[in-house]
Structure 1
Amino acid sequence: MEKILETPRLLFREMHMGDVENLMMIFSDPIAMKFYPEVKNEEETIRWIVWTLNNYRRFGVGMWVVENKITGDFLGQCGLVPQKVDERVEMEIGYLFVKKEWGKGYATEAAKACRDYGLYTLRVEKMVSLIDPQNNSSLKVATRIGMSREKIIKKRGRDLFLYVLTRKECDAL
């Protein structure tokens, strides 16, 4: 499997159909999925992987599997996903990790790597994150990587905070 990114502790790779069991550790956990519409079963997880593989083909990006660089353990997923915001397609940084790995800084480390990849490798002018207003952990990750809340948007019938960071703002960090 091709390595996409790496950080001091993390390795990012493309998702594949063999990741169903790994992703189910997140998708079947009601606590990890609290801020998503619902938990996913195996069939829905397979559809998620197919959607992700299509994003790789169509856009060259998507959610990537994040593994512990030393042990190879599955930690979660983080990546870049095109999202329609106010009739424009923006590049979103998304992250979702296995509950037992929370609190170790992996989400911030992974999101920062994706931020830099989007802004400096892909040369995207602006990165966004769409976050449930009650999801304090995700709000903290977005803030830690330099994003700030721009406004509230409605997406799939839900109010979400739109967090934004431009390349120019990131250069000033």
Structure 2
Amino acid sequence: MFETERCIINTFQKSDYFDTKKLFVNQEVRRFLGGIRQEDSIGVVMEEMLHSSDDSFYWVVREKLSENFIGLVSLDPHHEGVRLEISYQFLPDWWGSGYATEVIQVILDFGLNELKLEKIVAETQTANKSSCRLLERVGMELERTISRFGAEQAIYSIQS
């Protein structure tokens, strides 16, 4: 478990399925993530998160005072298979208030200092300006852009 000023970050559990599913069916959340997921694929993804390998970490983020579900954050292998990637999805009600910045900073610190990762990457569509600004705000730097999933992607990184 991790804590920020306003958030509690716990390892993903089966009891988090219902809340986490809200992310996968929300059009705004999924706008830059390939669209809403189908019911059967949601179950597969959540089972993979629940039974993840040693190099994959999935956390549920809740608001400290209310215990309301905010989102999901992870460190798991990037598509290119070389580094771990930080990924995140937050419900729209929590956007623009600094919650993601708080959470991402804690998870980057964990990856770089506790897991002793030399480098962590993040990938987001260049069209997702808010996500690009968030990654820059937490100290990640744009490495390159590529075309993947039918869109231009920005690859960011941070090193220890």
TM-score calculated relative to the size of structure 1: 0.85
Structure 1 residue 156, shift from structure 2 partner? 4.3
Q: Does structure 2 retain, via aligned residues, the 8 Å contact 1:129–1:163?
A: yes
Match among 83, 88, 107 for residue 100 of structure 2: 107
Query: Are 2:72 and 1:84 equivalent residues in the alignment?
Result: no
Segment drifting more, 144-153 vs 46-55? 46-55
Q: Which residue of 2 aligns with 1:117?
A: 110
Query: Are 2:58 and 1:63 equivalent residues in the alignment?
Result: yes
Determine which structure has greater relative contact order: mean sequence separation of CA pairs < 8 Å that are 6+ residues apart, divided by chain length. 2
Q: Which residue of 1 aligns with 2:154?
A: 161
Q: How many residues align?
A: 160
CA–CA separation in structure 2 for the residues paired with 1:162 and 1:59: 24
Q: Which residue of 2 aligns with 1:16?
A: 13
Query: Are 2:141 and 1:151 equivalent residues in the alignment?
Result: no
Match among 78, 82, 87 for residue 94 of structure 1: 87
CA offsets, 1:11-50, max 9 Å, x none? 1112122222212322111111100112024332221211
CA offsets, 1:54-91, max 9 Å, x none? 32xx1253221001122211100112111132xx4211
Q: Which residue identity does 1:47 align to in structure 2? A: V
Specify every segment of 5 or more residues in structure 1 that has no aligned partner in the other structure, as ranges: 168-173
Q: Which residue identity does 1:99 align to in structure 2? A: P
TM-score calculated relative to the size of structure 2: 0.91
CA–CA separation in structure 2 for the residues paired with 1:118 and 1:140: 20
Specify every segment of 5 or more residues in structure 2 that has no aligned partner in the other structure, as ranges: none
